[in-house]
Chains A and B, each alone.
Chain A
Amino acid sequence: MVSLNGNVLFSDKSEDFPTFIKNAYKFFKTDYSKFFKMDNLSKLAFFAADVLLKNENLNEEENNIALVFSNNASSLDTDRKHQAAIENETEYFPSPAVFVYTLPNICLGEISIKHRLYSENSFFIFDRFNAEHLQLYANSLLRSVKAEKVLCGWVNFDKNNYEAFLYLVEKEGVFEHTKEEITRLYNTL
């Protein structure tokens, strides 16, 4: 399911992620050739960010939107694939196209390239969704004028379980930027 600002825009019964994300990609007419080179975590994060930022009338040249993302499984989904490729001496085929995705922040790079974000990037790992630290970090970036807006959230991909929850923080908006409100919105997922 894909929802934006509380409205369900797309739902699909596909059991596996590759089918789901392909159907969603078609539905939203995403049209970005690099998308199919990405690993699962990057596809998930890129897609969620794309749905959200599409409505933001972004500048084509550059935008100062910081990315503060987090999850629990880091890049383990792709880490396991790289490990499988090097486990046996007889079938030893490490691939740079896989290895590059064995870092959780690569998805931030993918989003930055697409939306021309020459801005702050941070990827945190928490045991579970941690509204407080995301809120503090976003506040600090806005207060120190390091970013005009901050795209925060949680993008986790682990053993075909996946979820992405992103929200944009700026000086004026619909919801108050508090730990309680962020947690409430996350829990409505």
Chain B
Amino acid sequence: MVKTYLSYNNIYSSLGFNSEAVVENISKGVSGLDTYEDASLLPEPFCASLISSKKIENEFNMIGDASKFTKLEQMMILSLKKVVDASNIPLNEKVGLLISTTKGNIDVLEKESDFPESRAYLSELGKTIQTFFGFKNEAILLSNACVSGVLAISAAKRFISEKKYDYVFIASGDLVTKFILSGFNSFQALSAAPCKPYDKNRMGINLGEVAASVLVTIDEKNLPEEAVEILGDATCNDANHISGPSRTGEGLFRSVKAALQEANITSENVDYISAHGTATPFNDEMESIAFSRLGMEKVPLNSLKGFFGHTLGASGLLETIVGMHSMKKNVLFISKGFDELGVSKNINIVKTNTPKKLNIFLKTASGFGGCNTAVILKKANN
């Protein structure tokens, strides 16, 4: 079996426009969440992590004509460009492009949008990004709710293992739009204050927008210091409910177990869990049950939603990249917003930045449709 690695990476978010700057802000405890009053997005005040369109445009105008690209396209192209440039590989037929998003350019459905409705088709988003860079292969789009970002890592690994590609660039992104805010608000899932994953007083989620990109490669030479090897991965459905997680954490339990099995390690070998932790009552409780069933109650765990909000189809990739940098620094980052345990199992939430020798971490995500994904990643340069 050929080894696959997560290599060069970028995070384009309210906490900065490259991974290093973002991670520096996280290590200082700075959150990208803020409170907004904008009736064009939601009739009531909301808390979210937003990126200024002006700032994005200013940066984009240095590489193209921003007026021809939607906000999401600009973010995703700027993010991916940094990874493509750092990787310095020719974009030939052995290089794939995988795009992970839940809603893509959904804001073009709004009456006042400057762009045609056809831009809402995800394949159009794929074409725009493919054409900008001149990828030889058509973009593959993955849209699997909130596990999309982690599942994209699995998908890239699978296409590489089938020898279709030697390299896959993953670009992920989602926006905070009227569409998304109104929907989650109708579920009464939004918290008006910064979210508090796993906390006794958690009130629900915040939404966030971000673009995150990574190179998946078989080349074990040209790797940055934070690179990781993909040891195992799995996705399992709860087969229970389309909008509520399983009460027993069945799908998450099974996906972690299957990923550990493929990685050929036990739960004791996992140094850290980068969990989903949306801060809804049901999700966080479900995760605690699944990790307890897995015998992983003592493994340090955090949710990064307190820094970025829930960034939907990009969240899994964004959080994986932060995990890579956390391992490089050998520091566990605080699970921001957490004060007092509010789930039924005694899981080990990271309360303060903690130095720890890190070698292997587990990234998980769960989403609507009952899907759960787990990926196990090991330091490449140990």
Contacts and interface: CB of A to CB of B under 8 A. Distances in A.
A41 B250 CA distance: 26
B234 A120 contact: yes
A122 B110 CA distance: 28
A62 interface: yes
Interface string B225-249: 0000000001111111111000000
A123 B152 CA distance: 11
Interface string B362-376: 000001111100000
Interface stretch (A3-11, A19-27, A48-56, A110-118): A110-118
A133 B151 CA distance: 15
Interface in B128-142: 138, 140-142
Nearest to B107: A83
B254 A105 contact: no
Interface string A101-115: 011111011101100
Given A72-B123, A79-B106, A125-B123, A105 B186 contact: no
B13 interface: no
Contacts of A116: 239
B242 A92 contact: no
Contact of B183 (A102, A117, A120, A132): A102
Nearest to B145: A103
B141 A124 contact: yes
A126 B241 CA distance: 27
Contacts of A74: 104, 121-122, 143
B142 A136 contact: no
B186 A95 contact: yes
B341 interface: no
Given A105-B369, A106-B369, A118-B251, A124 B183 contact: no
Interface in B149-186: 151, 155, 158-159, 161-162, 164, 178-179, 182-186
A119 B370 CA distance: 11
Contacts of B110: 83, 87
A28 interface: no
Given A83-B179, A113-B241, A121 B109 contact: no
Nearest to B39: A89
Nearest to B184: A99
Contacts of A144: 158, 161, 262
A86 B177 CA distance: 11
Interface residues of A, number: 52
Contacts of A123: 142-144
A139 B184 CA distance: 36
B123 A126 contact: yes
A32 to B, nearest CB: 14
B263 interface: no
Nearest to A87: B111
Nearest to A116: B239
A183 to B, nearest CB: 16
Contacts of B185: 94
A83 B179 CA distance: 6
B100 to A, nearest CB: 11
B294 interface: no
A95 B186 CA distance: 6
Q: Closest 8 A-B residue pairs measured CB to CB? A: A109-B369, A99-B183, A140-B158, A125-B141, A112-B237, A94-B186, A94-B182, A127-B123
Interface of B: 39, 43, 102-104, 106, 109-111, 120-123, 126-127, 138, 140-145, 151, 155, 158-159, 161-162, 164, 178-179, 182-187, 234-243, 250-251, 254, 258, 262, 367-371
Given A85-B182, A123-B144, 20 more contacts: A67-B237, A80-B109, A82-B179, A83-B109, A92-B43, A99-B183, A100-B368, A102-B183, A105-B145, A109-B242, A113-B239, A118-B239, A122-B142, A122-B235, A123-B143, A125-B122, A127-B126, A133-B164, A137-B162, A146-B234
Interface of A: 62, 67, 72-74, 76, 79-80, 82-83, 85-87, 89, 92, 94-96, 99-100, 102-106, 108-110, 112-113, 116-127, 132-133, 136-137, 139-141, 143-144, 146
30 contacts: A74-B121, A82-B182, A83-B110, A87-B110, A92-B182, A94-B182, A95-B186, A99-B184, A100-B243, A104-B143, A105-B143, A105-B145, A105-B368, A105-B371, A106-B145, A112-B237, A113-B242, A120-B236, A120-B237, A122-B142, A123-B144, A125-B126, A125-B141, A125-B143, A126-B141, A127-B127, A133-B159, A136-B159, A137-B159, A140-B161
